[in-house]
Amino acid sequence: MRRIAIVGAGQAGLHLALGLQRHGYDVTLTAARTAGQVREGHPLSTQAMFGPARSLERALGLDLWAERTPLVRDMTFALAGPDGARLTGFGTRLDEGQQSVDQRVKLPAWLELFEERGGRTEYRTVDRDGLARLAAGHDLTLVAAGRGGLSALFPADAAHSPYEKPQRTLACAYLNGVGTPPGPGGEHARITAVTGGGELFLQPALTLSGPCTILLWEAVPGGPLDVFADRPGPAAFLERSLGLLRRHVPWEHEWCRGAEPTDARATLYGALTPRVRHPVALPAPRRPVLGMADTLVLNDPVTGQGANNAARCAATYLREILAHGERAFDEAWMRRTHALFWEHARYSVAFTNLMLQAPPPPHVQRVLGAAAAVPSVADRFAAAYADPAGLEDWLLDPRRTDAWLGSQAARPS
């Protein structure tokens, strides 16, 4: 039986561990926190999972909350002027919908499932020496520890890492009592770009107490939305957010004025520098280890790619491990395997880095303007969140963008 170690019990690490376990592999998982500690902590992310990523969980029987989680079939986009006026907007439908399960719900349940099925979990932090020992005692060792200390062992890929500091400060809370404006039927996510300030996201989700709404501010550092540096508690977060909504997004203020936090730890704050890293680290000579998901491809959540990338990475690695049989997991195999994941992840990186520009490049502004009038443009822009593959055909290059917009404008409505 092949022995595999996975460092990190997040979306990617647990998905892969459960998949390998299902196929009879001897898996050792190291986790920094127990299931109970995760449940009792603060939210870890906003984790909107789109249809393609959800299907990967469903294939392993891991979509344990599908019936209880709001299914978001529609997305609305709006642009707010500096004076709070709504300048433009559009809505569109997602082909498969998306769902968001609080990782305080998902990760403990997956961790307990892994252990109930006989999995071995070691609760400890792993440093470089500990990683070298794991690599020496296992056929394959993978690092799924996100942007923790071990990520620094993987060399940065400067060609795909254009930013040297965070482009947004992040502040979010899980709320009950957020209203839904008229428009698309059923649950829908709302995204508003605030001129000169950043973005507001309102995302239906499932949390510990049931359905809720996540309110996320993506603030340009030093801008008018960047007011959460002191990391206030949930009640103060909500009061401050209502003030921002009243000034900058008044139409959403009306739907949030009756909200209240879901629990006493319902807030999350942070800032991250988007970074791409090379896939292999050597914690000791001749002991290569393979990174995965956020350890190698860390995106700002402005396009909601993190949890989706994690699921895709886990599924890709699982497929390649199973196909490799009894052969050695050498460095060449690790690089080939990561390259298969990168074929998708490179689009999520390009999409995220593009949308982090403030203001967006002129050709992206033209897309957003056209989306308000041309449904096919709105549909394709929204579909990029679910699967950004093929963006070079219509969004990454201004000339191709303008050619594509011309073709859409000429289509009969």
**Full DSSP string of 65-98:** TTTTS--EEEEEEEEE-TTS-EEEEEEEEEEEEE
List domains and CATH numbers for the chain: 3-62+101-163+273-355 (3.50.50.60), 72-100+167-270 (3.30.9.40), 365-409 (no CATH)
Q: Say whether pTM exceeds 0.75.
A: yes
> Residues of 194-220 as b/e, b for ≥16 C-beta within 10 angstroms?
bbebbbbbbbbbbbbeeebbbbbbbbb
Q: How far apart are CA 197 and CA 220, in angstroms?
A: 5
Pick from 269, 276, 271, 354: nearest CA to 309: 276
- pLDDT above 90 covers what percent of the chain? 94
Burial classification of residue 19, based on how many CB atoms lie within 10 Å of its CB (0-12 exposed, 13-18 middle, 19 or more buried): buried
Pick from 274, 268, 273: nearest CA to 351: 274
> Residues of 262-271 as b/e, b for ≥16 C-beta within 10 angstroms?
bbebbbbbeb
Residue-wise pLDDT for 137-159, tens only, equals 999 999 999 877 899 999 999 99
Residue-wise pLDDT for 74-124, tens only, equals 999 999 998 999 999 999 999 899 999 999 999 999 999 999 999 999 999
Residue-wise pLDDT for 213-265, tens only, equals 999 999 999 999 999 999 999 999 999 999 999 999 999 999 999 999 999 99
Q: What is the pLDDT of residue 70?
A: 96
Residue 230: both structure tokens together: 């002191």
Element holding 142 (H helix, E strand)? strand 140-143
**pLDDT reading at 211 higher than 60:** yes
**pLDDT reading at 63 higher than 60:** yes
Q: What is the pLDDT of residue 368?
A: 93
Q: What is the pLDDT of residue 148?
A: 75
> Residues of 334-357 as b/e, b for ≥16 C-beta within 10 angstroms?
beebbeebbebbbbbbbbbbbbbe
What lies within 8 Å, CB to CB, of 280 at 6+ separation is: 154, 288, 289, 290, 291, 331, 334, 335, 338
DSSP letter for 143, please. Answer: E
The residue with tokens 């300030």 is 197
Between 187 and 9, the more confident residue is 9
Average pLDDT, the chain: 95
Between 1 and 179, the more confident residue is 179
Pick from 24, 18, 17: nearest CA to 2: 24
Q: What is the pLDDT of residue 412?
A: 53
Burial classification of residue 161, based on how many CB atoms lie within 10 Å of its CB (0-12 exposed, 13-18 middle, 19 or more buried): middle
Q: How far apart are CA 66 and CA 73, in angstroms?
A: 14
Residue-wise pLDDT for 296-341, tens only, equals 999 999 999 999 999 999 999 999 999 999 999 999 999 999 999 9
Element holding 210 (H helix, E strand)? strand 210-219
pLDDT band at 409 (very low <50, low <70, confident <90, very high): confident
